[in-house]
Structure 1
């Protein structure tokens, strides 16, 4: 199955998703998006690693440990090429307006509390919480970004639909379901 849509995310976050350490993506909207608001155009997308706005100070202990073990995750590449190896499916999308429930998502991502709450309050209170099931592709795809793909935006349309090939779930179905259901119970309590 081919997919032409990609969501930009910090390189280190992509790695945490690939390792099964993160099943949540907390999003606001990029300044290049209509009215700066995040929208979910499709429930399936490539994860597009970027270094845009990436900062170690915005990571929790698990994220910082990941960077210490792999400093290459924060090194800005000398080549403009981007390699994508993850396809995500949105299992649940929630617009969270109750800040008191925001901390429940901290256990399923590598952002620290301060960064998450800062995103929540950016422009206006509220944040999109995407619970995603990630899949590794059998053949990673490398592409050279176009001008239309640059800048502060969440979504990029790839020059062409890319075949995802064989997909291998990062987490076993049962493990993902347990984590997803615990998180959703906390967010909806």
Structure 2
């Protein structure tokens, strides 16, 4: 079994295309808080029809290509990631300074990350994304459901070259810390 982080399919595609380098996490309804379960993990794609209004207009082109990766019957795993930094948000106002590092609208960050479970800490994960050497198609099973951050998958994968190198992401991590820590 391999650990996978559930993430919007459009965000997975954005990571693979170099349009995104951070994930904003608070944990699912069934979690007391978000915790990094693995330093390296697969990215498990999720889709909701409401994602379109939550993605900035210049990134909405990602939605059509990402939607088939997560259906009622199957999921297609295309990426893995490695945690470069996990930064607790002490200054939510600083999130506007890093909006170019992700695809979400300011309204989505506010409603889906800050206002959702307001007493829970928001974490900015700086991640190094890797395309899989070959996508993995898995039948959707009940254990993949629920509002949790992490899922265990019966799959292993070879990865390709990282989208960004470690030095570039070290700079992103420093920028995130300066903005929100």
Give the structure-2-normalised TM-score.
0.86
Measure how far apart 1:128 and its partner are. Answer: 1.2
Q: Name the Cα RMSD after superposition.
A: 2.3
The aligned residue for residue 148 of structure 1 is 143
Kept in 1: contact 2:26–2:123 (CA 8 A): yes
The aligned residue for residue 2 of structure 2 is 4
Q: Secondary structure at the match of 1:34?
A: coil
Partners of 1:9 and 1:84 lie apart in 2 by 11
Kept in 2: contact 1:24–1:105 (CA 8 A): no
Is the alpha carbon distance of 1:75 and 1:150 closer, same or farther for their aligned partners in structure 2, counting shifts above 3 Å? same
Match of 1:82 among 64, 75, 81: 75
Is the alpha carbon distance of 1:66 and 1:147 closer, same or farther for their aligned partners in structure 2, counting shifts above 3 Å? closer
Partners of 1:19 and 1:74 lie apart in 2 by 16
Gaps of 5+ in 1: none
Is the alpha carbon distance of 1:54 and 1:151 closer, same or farther for their aligned partners in structure 2, counting shifts above 3 Å? farther
Number of matched residues?
179
The aligned residue for residue 47 of structure 1 is 43
Check if 1:28 corresponds to 2:50.
no
The aligned residue for residue 123 of structure 2 is 128
Is the alpha carbon distance of 1:73 and 1:187 closer, same or farther for their aligned partners in structure 2, counting shifts above 3 Å? same
Kept in 1: contact 2:130–2:159 (CA 8 A): no
Range that drifts further, 15-24 or 120-129: 120-129
Structure number with higher strand proportion? 1
Give the structure-1-normalised TM-score.
0.83
